[in-house]
A and B are shown apart, each in its own frame.
Chain A
Amino acid sequence: MSLTASCQRIVRDPLLSPAQKSHALALAAENALPYPALPAEVAEAMAQGVLCDMFEGHVPYKPRYVLPDYEKFLRQGSPWLELAPPRDFDEALDALRILYHHVPSVTGMPVWLGRLDHLLLPFVGELDDEALHRKLKGFWIYLDRVLPDAFMHVNIGPDDNRICRLILRIDGELKQVAPNLSLFHDPASTPDSLLMQGVQNIALCGKPHIVNYPIHRETFDERGFGIVSCYNALPLGGGANTLVRLSLKGMAEQSADLEEFMTRWLPHYCEQASRLIEARAAFLHEESGFFASFLVEEGLIEEGRFVPMFGIHGMAEAVNLLMDKEGLAGRYGHDEEANQLGHRISARLSAWVTARPQPHAWGGRALLHSQGGLSLDKGVTPGVRIPYGEEPDPASHLLALAPHHGYYHSGISEILTLDPTIRQNPQALLQLCKGAFALGMREFSANVADSDLVRVTGYMIRKSDVARFAAEGSRLQTTCLGAEASELTGIRQRAPRVLGLEASLCDY
């Protein structure tokens, strides 16, 4: 479709709001510009569909994900925004409401809202729980209605505190799509009663994710990390400059056998992905002017704390294809040999990525990422997940995938779908979560099979919204991604299956 035709279609779409149209028009304009110069082999890998730039747009003029140091902002205010440091709880919430509007990302909305309990605790003062509940509930409704993007992510914990408890209570009461929520868990500082409140919320509304805090803390540095969007771990005070993705399925299809996959195509495509990362990051860091932003000037982000994410998906299909080519019958997720082949591929990818220098990267290297999918994906399973509909029981599911988790430093997520019977026995969910962490998993997410609010990859949609969107449009930006996903993949035919997608804004 020509640029004009695309834009004509966007402006006439009765289901998009004016703001959603603006965003789609901007993307169309960006994509009318020439791509940064790419080596021929990179362009070929993209044309084959093995390598993908996640439809971030042709010319990255903003980082994919930004994690500002909100604590510093609340301490010092902002000269550029003409804001004095907040003095009480209301002023702190107001300051955050303002700054959120100035934090860019690939979706045009902030994907990280900070470790909210830690940010707000210094401002609690004499307020009692009822007053805090009223103020935070208003804030929660504001976030969902004004920044309606389920990629927007709040982090809480690992310690037990009033704000953390109140946020869990409010999130369970409102059952909103946004914001996404992660509860950090540290066996040394998270009491079981707090984890229990978290898993009871999962049974209510599919949120929060539970995060293995110690394992992430060791991956990053003393300035810390944040869990953003769906589902990425990145340096605080920085973020991700770009994300590219390799289809392991596509690589396996080209391989005559396992040997050729491991020794020829894996290194070849990893190198092409690394060169694509270089080209995209070079434009952002050297030409876009982004790092002249007040966010940098006021010390809320540092250019050196941005890191590229090296994504992969389609592990399940790759393993099954390679098993076929080796004449082996075992299937990914069910057979020990197939599972171990998957673990070997992850180890090989990790060895490659951690050895390949990147000029624009915190730590000098890209970080491996098990990518949750795009709303347009068909016939390929997100990240290293087991294809939906083929998952074994939840315990075997976790055992099969846990060994991957050590390799995917910038994020990996599995989503368990549990029977509604688990609501009567939240202790079982708690046990699964603690067991998953004992096995080395970086995070734990679950859906209960009859909830309206379900996880699509790492973000939430309401099943009822998806049905309504087809007729009326949605105020939630992510509903159209969920709608696209559920039409393509049949999510709603299969109860609440997790899909994998992340995404381009609708299909323009």
Chain B
Amino acid sequence: MTTEDDKGGRTATVSRWLPFSCVDGPGNRLVLFLQGCNFRCPGCHNPHTIGLCDHCGDCVPGCPSGALTPIDGSVRWQASLCTHCDRCLDACPRSASPKTHQMSVAEVLALLRRYGPLLTGITVSGGEATTQLPFVVALFAAIKAAPDLTHLSCLLDSNGSLGETGWQRLLPVLDGAMIDLKGWRESVHHSLTGQGRERVLASLQLLARAGKLAELRLLQVPGRSDFLDVGGELDAGLAAFLQTLGPVPIRLNGFRHHGVRGEAMGWQEAAMEELDRLSNALKVKGFGPVSLPPL
């Protein structure tokens, strides 16, 4: 059995963490956003979490508060000087951030203990959390092994790109995963994520079979998404696929400009009426429960 001691030293590159979130799974959750993503979605709301810093230093001159300094070939970020104006993120050529930090499993456990009574669980998100899979497995295993933390549920928020071997390592300590499906047909999925859909579909089926698909999330982008056919009904292929998953909660996310950079700033935002149409099309076929964005 894994103990805190032998895995407590494993670390992750963390973009940020929040002790309170009510939008990353049921109840109040501590959320860890891990840095780095293997998808390249043009409509990403957190593009600065995609890349990993290579310490090129391009961000340093633009920092107005002197929070970034080049030291021995790497960029050092001083949180106490930072005003979070985010000019460093704009300057970064690789969609990374100098404002990440390393956190060990032991440090995350200490946070969970500090906020313990106020938490329902933890959600590890990103970036793409499974790009740092050994950390996630070690963290969840340590939580499950600690008698004072076992009441916390361990959820993963993922793009579904993890392969079967990876899932098999994670499943024993995972309570549930929330997976994005950003397009249905291969070409659409590719244009909205930069990757094919095959692994995502396989992950959804694997998780559903294991009873650990906590939520399927569909991203609706006006004029680009293909969940509905020309007649406004649920795409027949998608319907057949959803049938194979069995009953799964579905959350609809509409594309918004918040945080987005580049070409997707020219895309249209999804109106609530459009999400209502998709929601109804899903419900008519018996899928769901379907939830809409809170705002």
Residues on B with C-beta less than 8 A from A394 are 20
Residues on B with C-beta less than 8 A from A398 are 118
Determine how close the nearest CB of chain A comes to the CB of B122; give it in whole angstroms. 13
A434 interfacial by beta-carbon distance below 8 Å: yes
- B28 x A424 contact (CB < 8 A): no
A419 interfacial by beta-carbon distance below 8 Å: yes
- A431 x B28 contact (CB < 8 A): yes
Q: Which of A425, A434, A435 contacts B22 (CB 8 A)?
A: A425
- B295 x A420 contact (CB < 8 A): yes
Determine how close the nearest CB of chain B comes to the CB of A496; give it in whole angstroms. 16
Q: Which of A420, A429, A435 contacts B294 (CB 8 A)?
A: A420
CB-contacts of A408-425 with B (<8 A): 418-425
- A431 x B294 contact (CB < 8 A): no
CA distance A432 to B20 in the complex (A): 9
CA distance A435 to B295 in the complex (A): 26
A436 interfacial by beta-carbon distance below 8 Å: yes
A189 interfacial by beta-carbon distance below 8 Å: no
B291 interfacial by beta-carbon distance below 8 Å: yes
- B22 x A419 contact (CB < 8 A): yes
- B23 x A431 contact (CB < 8 A): no
- B118 x A435 contact (CB < 8 A): yes
CB-contacts of B57-77 with A (<8 A): none
- B26 x A421 contact (CB < 8 A): no
Q: Which of B18, B114, B120 contacts A399 (CB 8 A)?
A: B114
Q: A396-B19, A421-B294, A423-B294 are in contact. Are A428 and B115 (CB under 8 A)?
A: no
Residues on A with C-beta less than 8 A from B291 are 424
B117 interfacial by beta-carbon distance below 8 Å: yes
Residues on B with C-beta less than 8 A from A438 are 117
Residue of A nearest to B18 (CB): A393
A439 interfacial by beta-carbon distance below 8 Å: yes
Q: A423-B294, A432-B28 are in contact. Are A393 and B22 (CB under 8 A)?
A: no
Determine how close the nearest CB of chain A comes to the CB of B289; give it in whole angstroms. 12
Q: A425-B27, A432-B118 are in contact. Are A395 and B294 (CB under 8 A)?
A: no
Q: Which of B18, B114, B117, B294 contacts A434 (CB 8 A)?
A: B117
- A393 x B117 contact (CB < 8 A): no
A8 interfacial by beta-carbon distance below 8 Å: no
Kindly state the interface size class of chain B when it binds its partner. 10 to 19
- B294 x A427 contact (CB < 8 A): no
CA distance A470 to B152 in the complex (A): 50
- B28 x A421 contact (CB < 8 A): no
Residues on B with C-beta less than 8 A from A421 are 22-23, 294-295
Determine how close the nearest CB of chain A comes to the CB of B87; give it in whole angstroms. 24
Residues on A with C-beta less than 8 A from B28 are 395, 427-428, 431-432, 435
- A435 x B119 contact (CB < 8 A): yes
Determine how close the nearest CB of chain A comes to the CB of B116; give it in whole angstroms. 8
CB-contacts of A423-462 with B (<8 A): 423-425, 427-432, 434-436, 438-439
CA distance A207 to B92 in the complex (A): 47
Determine how close the nearest CB of chain A comes to the CB of B86; give it in whole angstroms. 19
Among B28, B117, B118, find the residue whose CB has the most chain A CB atoms closer than 10 A.
B118
- B27 x A435 contact (CB < 8 A): no
CA distance A423 to B20 in the complex (A): 15
Complex interface bits, A367-399 against B, C-beta within 8 A gives 1, otherwise 0: 000000000000000000000000001111011
CA distance A396 to B119 in the complex (A): 12
CA distance A470 to B237 in the complex (A): 60
Residues on A with C-beta less than 8 A from B22 are 418-419, 421-422, 424-425, 428-429
CA distance A304 to B114 in the complex (A): 43
Residue of B nearest to A439 (CB): B117
Determine how close the nearest CB of chain B comes to the CB of A204; give it in whole angstroms. 15
Q: A420-B295, A424-B294 are in contact. Are A395 and B23 (CB under 8 A)?
A: no
Q: 12 A-B pairs, CB-CB below 8 angstroms?
A: A395-B19, A395-B28, A395-B115, A398-B118, A399-B114, A399-B118, A421-B295, A423-B294, A425-B23, A425-B27, A431-B119, A435-B118
Point out residues on B near A: beta carbons under 8 Å: 18-20, 22-23, 26-29, 114-120, 291, 294-295
Told that A399-B118, A427-B28, A428-B120 touch, could you supply 4 new A-B pairs with CB distance under 8 A? Answer: A394-B20, A395-B20, A396-B20, A420-B294
By Cβ-Cβ distance, the 10 closest A-B pairs, closest first, are A435-B118, A428-B22, A435-B117, A438-B117, A421-B294, A428-B28, A395-B20, A395-B19, A427-B27, A425-B22
